[in-house]
Each structure stands twice: as C-alpha cells, then as structure tokens.
Amino acid sequence: MTKKLLTSLVLAAVVLFAAAWGLAPIFAGQALIRAAKAGDAAKLEQLVDFPALRTSLKDELSKELVSRIGRDPRVADSGLGGLGMMLAPMLLSGAVDTVVTPEVLAQMVTTAEAPDPSRRDASEPADARSDRDIHQAWGYRDMNHFAVTLTDRDHPDQHLALILERRGLFTWKLAAVDLQSEAV
C-alpha cells in the first residue's frame, strides 16, 4: 500500500510540474496583455527584455522597409532605392531606440500594430485604436519560444506576434516581435 501511495504521489508531482512548465508562458502572456491594457509600465518593465525587443523590432522594421522600397516602382526606377536601403537601418535604429517604451508596447498590444517611427501623428485617435477587436492566438514555436499572435479583425492580413522567450525554468519574457503581413 505504501509503495502504491508513493508511486501515486511521485506521478502527481510529475504531472503538476509538467503542467506548470507547459502553462507558464500562457500565464506570462496573459500578465503581459493585462499590464498593457492597464497601462502598468512598471509591470511591463518586469515582463519585457527591452534591449532584445528593440533589436528584434529593428530587424523586422528594416525588412519591412526594404520590402516596401523594393515594391515601389518609383523608388526602384529612380536609383534612390539602393541609397534608401543603405540609410534605412541607421535611421530606424535611432528611432526604434527612442520609440520602444512601455507605453508604446501597451499600444502595440491593444492595437496589434508595430510602431511606425516615421509617423509622428496618429491617423486615428488613441481611444479609437484601443477599442479594436483584437484576436489572440497562442502557441509554442519551440520549447523556448512562445508566440502570442495578435490580429485586428478589421485587418486580418496583418499580424503582430509577440515572442516570449524562456528565461529559466518557469520564467518567460517578451524578447521579440514578428511582423507578419501578407503582400497585396
């Protein structure tokens, strides 16, 4: 009887450990979204690796800008496309370092849009952007990366994936973004 009880306790402990390990990124993602919606900058500072996030956002925005320059025939034909592709990473680097703050991250989560460093004024009021119907999809990318993909139901072709990265056994931090937009 004692051996059976000990085996059951060990099995229960293993199941609880596996459940906690597997559900930890979901709890971290939910905490991130709650903090963003509440505008809790202090909580966002705890949940986000801002240097890694800025690096990721620079890479994603640079790829998007190069893609836009390549698709615009006016720029490609004028010969300025190459110059734009050379200068874009430098300009984006400084802009992203300045723009990515807990407040902007909160806006990203509530609008499912990456910040546009080239746009100073918003085309719609902040209240209108925050009332959007945002769909959330959750899933592992691999054992150490978990994605919370946000999609504005009014723009289903544009997605913003928040990539949480494992930091220790049960700790997860937002470390990257993945801008996914389907070319039109």
Q: What is the 3-state secondary structure (H, E, C) of 114-177?
A: CCCCCCCCCCCCHHHHHCCCEEEEEEEEECCEEEEEEEECCCCCEEEEEEEEECCCCCEEEEEE
Q: What is the pLDDT of residues 46-64, one digit of tens each?
A: 999 999 999 998 888 878 7
Q: Which CATH architecture has domain 2-49+101-181?
A: Roll (3.10)
Q: What is the pLDDT of residues 84-110, one digit of tens each?
A: 666 767 777 777 888 888 998 998 888
pTM: 0.78
70-74, 107-111, 116-120: least confidently modelled range? 116-120
Extents of the domains making up the chain: 2-49+101-181
